[in-house]
Structure 1
Amino acid sequence: MRFLHPLADVSECKIGKDSRVWQYVVILEGAEIGSNCNICAHSLIESDVIIGSNVTIKSGVFIWNGTRIEDNVFLGPNATLTNDPYPRSKDYPEHYLGITIRKNASVGANATILPGVTIGEGAMVGAGAVVTKDVPANAVVIGNPAKVIRYRK
């Protein structure tokens, strides 16, 4: 049975079985969230977002239009996902470059992922990393800009 905290603002969207949405979360109309997800306080999910099952989204994560998150992904506190490579006030692009995070990947606290980037299956982004290009499957990246330091076994 899914749980929606009474202080969450959840529009008409799809939320799978056994998912939990905590206080001060905003989910816009049209978003799709799989089963057994945990969406922690003070997070935002826009309408053109698809999130798989068994995903953990820690507090302070904003997920913008065009983003696709596969199963078993972890997003650490205040991870920053972006979708507009040239942001300007009151100037809206026709198409947003979302981020793709493949299954079993993890993004550490305060990491920043630039628009259009794909985080590969099983990859790990270290806390505070600034990811400017695609991360290969099973790679561990850290730093600014993020660089591969090893591959997970």
Structure 2
Amino acid sequence: MSIHPSAIVDEGATIGEGSRVWHFVHVCAGAHIGKGVSLGQNVFVGNKVEIGDRCKIQNNVSIYDNVTLEEGVFCGPSMVFTNVHNPRALVERKSEFRNTLVRRGATLGANCTVVCGVTIGEFAFVGAGAVVTRDVPAYALMVGVPARQKGWMSEHGEQIPLPLDGNGSFTCPHTGSHYRLNGRQMSREPSP
């Protein structure tokens, strides 16, 4: 594990083997961070945060209470999580934090916003600047404000050339992995 001297890691935080904590990071006491995680410059990690193994959190990202990132999540530079649905400076709402779950392998592009209370499916891809206001299916490509589904992505990070609705199959040219679309559900087929 590598922690830059300018970083603040509060006593009680757990950080897994092989993780790197860069300049001006603050990790709160209750945070749980897995193995092989990279926390870029100026990252904040709250008390009630779980970060899985091999996540990459780029510069200027704040991960507030009640956010869970499963293994291999990518958070692009300056992307935003929220944890209160209807914030007011004059109204205390810490008891109303909503849980946000980002499933394994998902990508959250630079400057996107994830409104609290949603689940982002595994290997989903949220484009730069998008605003996610509702649950995102596994492997979905989401863009725009508010975010709308514009396609499907492979685990390798390549767009799958299939219709949004209906049935179809695809083989990733980079990995040879097979994917199948059944209505509005994308899945990776087991290797033969």
- Code of the residue aligned with 2:115 in structure 1: it is L
Structure 1 residue 99, shift from structure 2 partner: 1.4
State the identity %.
39
Q: Does 1:139 align with 2:140?
A: yes
Q: Secondary structure at the match of 1:128?
A: coil
Task: Give the count of matched residue pairs.
Answer: 152
2 CA distance for matches of 1:62 and 1:46?
Answer: 8
1:52 aligns with 2:35: no
Who is 1:63 aligned against? 63
2:72 maps to a residue whose letter is N
Q: Which has the higher contact order (CA 8 A, sep 6+)?
A: 1
For residues 1-153 of structure 1, what are the structure 2 equivalents within 5 Å?
A: 2-12=1-11, 13-90=13-90, 91-153=92-154
- Counterpart Cα distance in 1 of 2:59 and 2:94: 28
Regions of 4+ moved over 3 Å: none
The TM-score, its normalising length taken from structure 1, stands at 0.97
On the 8 A contact 1:82/1:98 being kept in 2, the answer is: no
CA contact (8 A) 1:37 1:56 kept: yes
Quick one: distance in 1 between partners of 2:30 and 2:153?
35
Contact preservation (8 Å) 1:124, 1:141: yes
Question: Which amino acid in 2 is paired with 1:140?
Answer: L
CA contact 1:29–1:47 (8 Å) conserved in 2 = yes
Aligned residues: CA RMSD: 0.9
- Normalising by the residue count of structure 2, what TM-score does the alignment of the two structures yield? 0.77
The runs of 5 or more residues in structure 2 that have no matched partner are 155-192
Larger radius of gyration: 2
How many Å apart are 1:151 and its aligned residue?
1.1
